[in-house]
Amino acid sequence: AAAVGDAPVAAAGRRDFAQALAAAVTTGGHDNRTYHLTGDRDYTYQDVAAAMTDVLGTPVRYRPMPAEQYRTMVTGAGVDEATAGFLAALDQSIGRGVLRNAGDDLSRLIGHPTMSLVEGLR
């Protein structure tokens, strides 16, 4: 469950980020540059649930909900109010698209396409 709606998220794996860091510190031409490191494609939380189903071998379903309902759900699970508010606000930002694909900086730095969602989850 999350309060992101069907917003896109351009997830990338730790290996891709580590390779990008290694490239930035071991090669030249990166001074005073800003990189926007995102995966090559956008995924919805529905896509994440489908990938988790594939990896885990058991059905995983994404349940979208309004931010206030999400906040109530997580506080009901024992999360304190401040953290629940932070999580709900984070989901609202994701819902506005702040984690969508921002270009090909990551794949250019690592010299190959970023890993797939299923590969990253495995």
pTM (2 decimals)?
0.84
Contact (Cβ atoms closer than 8 angstroms) between residue 108 and residue 37:
no
- Report the pLDDT value the prediction gives residue 97, as an integer from 0 to 100: 95
- Report the pLDDT value the prediction gives residue 7, as an integer from 0 to 100: 96
- Report the pLDDT value the prediction gives residue 90, as an integer from 0 to 100: 97
- Report the pLDDT value the prediction gives residue 33, as an integer from 0 to 100: 95
Q: What is the pLDDT of residues 100-110, one digit of tens each?
A: 998 999 999 99
Three-class secondary structure assignment of the chain: CECCCCCCECCCCHHHHHHHHHHHHHCCCCCCCCCCCCCCCCECHHHHHHHHHHHHCCCCCCCECCHHHHHHHHHHCCCCHHHHHHHHHHHHHHHCCCCCCCCCHHHHHHCCCCCCHHHHHC
- Report the pLDDT value the prediction gives residue 95, as an integer from 0 to 100: 96
Contact (Cβ atoms closer than 8 angstroms) between residue 53 and residue 59:
yes
- Report the pLDDT value the prediction gives residue 29, as an integer from 0 to 100: 94
Rounded Cα distance, 63 and 67, in Å:
12
- Report the pLDDT value the prediction gives residue 109, as an integer from 0 to 100: 96
- Report the pLDDT value the prediction gives residue 49, as an integer from 0 to 100: 97
- Report the pLDDT value the prediction gives residue 58, as an integer from 0 to 100: 97
Ranges of the chain whose pLDDT falls below 50 = none
